[in-house]
Amino acid sequence: MGDDQNHHDANGDHYSLDQVLAPGSNPMTPRPPPISAPPSQFHSPSLARSPLLMMSPDRVVTAPVSTNRTPMGGRTPRSGARTPGRFRTPRFITPLGSPLRKALHMTKLDPHDAWLPITESRNGNAVYAAFHTLCSGIGIQALILPVAFTALGWAWGVICLTLAFIWQLYTLHILVQLHESVETGVRYSRYLQLANAAFGERVSKLLAMFPIMYLSGGTCVALIIIGGSTSKLLFQTICGGACSSHDPTTVEWYLIFTFAAVLLSQLPNLNSIAGVSLVGAITAVGYCTIIWAVSVAEGRMPGVSYNPVRPGSDLEKVFSVLNALGIIAFAFRGHNLVLEIQATMPSSEKHPSTVPMWKGVKVAYALISMCLFPLAIGGYWAYGQLIPQGGMLTALFAFHGQDTSRFILGLTSFFVVVNAVSSFQLYGMPMFDQMESSVVTKLKRPCPVWVRASLRVTFAFSCFFTAVALPFLGSVAGLMGGIALPITLAYPCFMWLKVRKPTRFSKSWLVNWVLGVFGLALSGALIVAGVYVVIDNGIKFSFFKPT
């Protein structure tokens, strides 16, 4: 090889003599690139069982080494010293100066990561990813989409919904790609971890902490309100008025729903609820399909109008349109769970988690599009300006409750309740992870079962009391969409700019800057519009009086 210090193995992989064994070694194993597991899991028991630590036989090469070189550290072996034989180096041991060593210095290690609900199991696959993504990407918020069309009209309604779908799919692809750092090999298993790496810990807590916790905790509160109210509706549909005297109150239905959510929340980690997410995904597709199919089959309502609502002043018109855009943005929540879902997969140099994750996402969003667009377009066609603020489920019972079979109405309500219970587990998992993280950090061992159960029960009943105290949260979808919009549409663009650093004024640089800045500006406008619409419409703030 002469003076050339660089070599290639049989597969064309590049390595240097600084990455080979000491003199006198037999055929050796070159050090691999940085592993794709987070540094916090180097010594975790879950990772020890992962294929990440398995060496591929085709990576073993033979390279001559000059006998004049001294071993690392500059010390010459003693005469008669035993020559090290062939051995296989664990993948978490790498030579000095490697990218992984740099990652260890740049990354704040968390040795307890393997004990937390999101990352303690890495046996996921593309199918599990599709289940989780579909369950988190579609829900009761989709049923409100026709309400947005009342302010936007046919043309702008379809255009805005299409553009929002493409935009959020693009930012979703960005998050999937950013899950594994190309330079350091670190996996960002939580949205807040990626935000810390991109913006710094102080800025990320200021900008991202509240929206992320709001999306998780606030969504769980909304699910209790929706699930409890729909449970009451299901009971009344089945009884048909015969048992109205024994009908539990709305608060009691909230409590029944919370008990069901608490029971399922005892499943330990994100991988263990894959079956729950499958049930949630099936029921979400089921009730969306039933609602729009029945609405279209029954035909347009008499006297339906498609003219956009025109409030009095220009300011009211602008705020009405912005609130409609907030409703559309709220329909595409769920991006705060993408990195967590991808964290449940194994990953290696040859088989990165990006590939199966994106396959699962594509399948999930193909099904999501088959639900959202028919709901929005078919619902607006059937009801027009008559669509109630509660959305398609309210319209189904209000306009077709008498001429639709009780079985269809009951099945739809049942699907909504089951989907709400399933989604509660998925959106609550980041909160479970956050709470248990503080416990394992202090105990320096896995969270005891009784402590884990107590934390999850406490969280669920905290959501229950919030739902009872603030039962009007379901009426502020536009405001919630404005708060959640940066997580979905803006922050991923800035993360790409900070982490990947595209060439200045390149296509990628321009696109992400434009989308990021526009997303932040739109979020601010939507929040203002949402507050204005809430005040202007006179939403009844019935504290501790759920109906």
The C-alpha atoms of residue 85 and residue 167 are separated, in whole angstroms, by 56
Whole-angstrom Cα Rg for the chain: 27
The per-residue pLDDT for range 128-168, each reduced to its tens digit, is 999 999 998 888 888 999 999 999 999 999 999 999 999 99
User: Which pLDDT band holds residue 470 (cuts at 50, 70, 90)?
Assistant: confident
The C-alpha atoms of residue 322 and residue 472 are separated, in whole angstroms, by 20
For the ranges 43-57, 169-183, 247-261, 279-293, the maximum mean pLDDT occurs at 279-293
Of 398, 476, 392, the closest CA to residue 142 belongs to 392
Residue 23: pLDDT above 80? Answer: no
Pick the more confident residue, 298 or 333.
298
pLDDT for 515 equals 96
The per-residue pLDDT for range 370-401, each reduced to its tens digit, is 999 999 999 999 999 999 888 899 999 999 88
The C-alpha atoms of residue 329 and residue 480 are separated, in whole angstroms, by 9
Residue 277: pLDDT above 90? Answer: yes
Round the average pLDDT of the chain to a whole number and report it: 79
pLDDT for 172 equals 95
Pick the more confident residue, 488 or 184.
488
Could you tell me what percent of the chain has a pLDDT over 70? 74
Of 293-297, 369-373, 440-444, the poorest mean pLDDT is in: 440-444
Cα angle at 302 between 298 and 306, to 5 degrees? 95
Which positions ≥6 away from 504 have C-beta within 8 Å?
Answer: none
Q: Are 375 and 243 in contact (CB under 8 A)?
A: no
- Which amino acid, residue 197? A
Where do we find the tokens 């996402």? 361
The per-residue pLDDT for range 185-223, each reduced to its tens digit, is 788 999 999 999 999 888 888 888 888 887 788 889 889
* pTM to 2 decimal places: 0.77
Which positions ≥6 away from 498 have C-beta within 8 Å?
Answer: 198, 199
Residue 117: pLDDT above 80? Answer: yes
Q: Are 288 and 485 in contact (CB under 8 A)?
A: no
pLDDT for 18 equals 44
Long-range contacts, stretch 201-208, CB < 8 angstroms, 24+ apart: 207/486, 207/491, 208/486, 208/487, 208/491
Please count the CA atoms within 13 angstroms of the CA of 472 that sit on its side-chain side: 13
Distances (CA, A) of 61 to 8, 33, 55: 9, 15, 13
Please count the CA atoms within 13 angstroms of the CA of 241 that sit on its side-chain side: 1
pLDDT for 474 equals 60
Q: What is the mean pLDDT of residues 459-484?
A: 79
Please count the CA atoms within 13 angstroms of the CA of 190 that sit on its side-chain side: 25
pLDDT for 279 equals 95
The per-residue pLDDT for range 60-87, each reduced to its tens digit, is 344 444 444 444 444 444 444 444 443 3
The C-alpha atoms of residue 357 and residue 8 are separated, in whole angstroms, by 31
Structure tokens at 27: 């055929």
pLDDT for 541 equals 54
The C-alpha atoms of residue 301 and residue 75 are separated, in whole angstroms, by 89
Q: Is 15 helix (H, G, I), strand (E, B) or coil?
A: strand
pLDDT for 381 equals 95
Structure tokens at 503: 């060439």
Pick the more confident residue, 92 or 371.
371
pLDDT for 77 equals 44
Of 278, 235, 223, 246, the closest CA to residue 409 belongs to 235
User: Which pLDDT band holds residue 542 (cuts at 50, 70, 90)?
Assistant: low
pLDDT for 157 equals 93
What does the DSSP assignment read for 179-191?
A: TB-TTT--B--SH
Q: What is the mean pLDDT of residues 397-412?
A: 91
Q: How many CB atoms lie within 10 A of CB 107?
A: 19
Pick the more confident residue, 359 or 531.
359
Structure tokens at 190: 């939580």
Structure tokens at 507: 């296509």
Largest CA distance in the chain: 101
pLDDT for 496 equals 95
Residue 402: pLDDT above 60? Answer: yes
The C-alpha atoms of residue 359 and residue 345 are separated, in whole angstroms, by 13
Residue 201's H or E segment, with its range, is: helix 201-204
Residue 43: pLDDT above 80? Answer: no
Residue 29: pLDDT above 50? Answer: no
Q: What is the mean pLDDT of residues 95-104?
A: 38
Structure tokens at 20: 């080979």
Residue 248: pLDDT above 60? Answer: yes
User: Which pLDDT band holds residue 467 (cuts at 50, 70, 90)?
Assistant: confident
Q: What is the mean pLDDT of residues 285-290?
A: 95
pLDDT for 39 equals 39
Total H helices, total E strands in the chain: 19, 2
Residue 14: pLDDT above 60? Answer: no
Q: Are strands 14-16 and 6-8 parallel, antiparallel or unpaired?
A: antiparallel
Q: How many CB atoms lie within 10 A of CB 357?
A: 30
pLDDT for 546 equals 63
